[in-house]
């Protein structure tokens, strides 16, 4: 934390004080995710999975976190029903997401 004070010369007390939180944005995002913010969880997962070409959308229904994943590649969609929704490999995504969620340990979900 930091404080900025404005004091007029000759005055005994500062006119106002501004308190600034100097916590890095990454730490703030992790704290929000730990408290169960679906937006923060989704953002962290997207940052971590960007190299894997996976996009995650997080939604919270009651006390259950739902994660919807899709690949980011701009490949021409296949006509086979298997790739109809452009879904990434389940095992690969689960292996990438599980340790992140274990580390975050979101509460209230």
Q: What is the pTM (predicted TM-score) of this model? A: 0.71
Q: Using CA atoms, how far apart are residues 37 and 17, in angstroms rounded to an integer?
A: 31
DSSP string, 47-91: HHHGGGTEEEEEEEETTEEEEEEEE---PPPPSSGGGTT-PPPHH
In this structure, how many other beta carbons lie within 10 angstroms of the beta carbon of residue 104? Answer: 20
Residue 45 is encoded by which pair of tokens?
Answer: 């997962």
Contact in structure between 15 and 6 (CB atoms under 8 Å) = yes
pLDDT digits (tens, 9 = 90+) for 9-58: 888 888 888 888 899 999 999 999 999 999 999 999 999 999 889 999 99
pLDDT digits (tens, 9 = 90+) for 80-96: 555 555 678 888 899 99
> What residue ranges do the domains of the chain occupy?
24-104
């Amino acid at each position: 934390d930091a404080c900025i004070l404005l004091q007029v010369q000759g005055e005994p007390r500062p006119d106002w004080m501004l308190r600034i939180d100097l916590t890095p944005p990454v730490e703030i995002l992790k704290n929000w995710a730990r408290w169960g913010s679906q937006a923060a969880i989704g953002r962290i997962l997207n940052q971590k999975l960007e190299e894997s070409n996976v996009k995650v959308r997080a939604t919270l229904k009651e006390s259950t976190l739902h994660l919807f994943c899709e690949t980011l590649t701009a490949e021409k969609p296949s006509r086979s029903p298997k790739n109809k929704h452009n879904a990434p490999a389940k095992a690969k995504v689960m292996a990438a997401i599980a340790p992140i969620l274990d580390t975050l340990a979101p509460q209230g979900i």
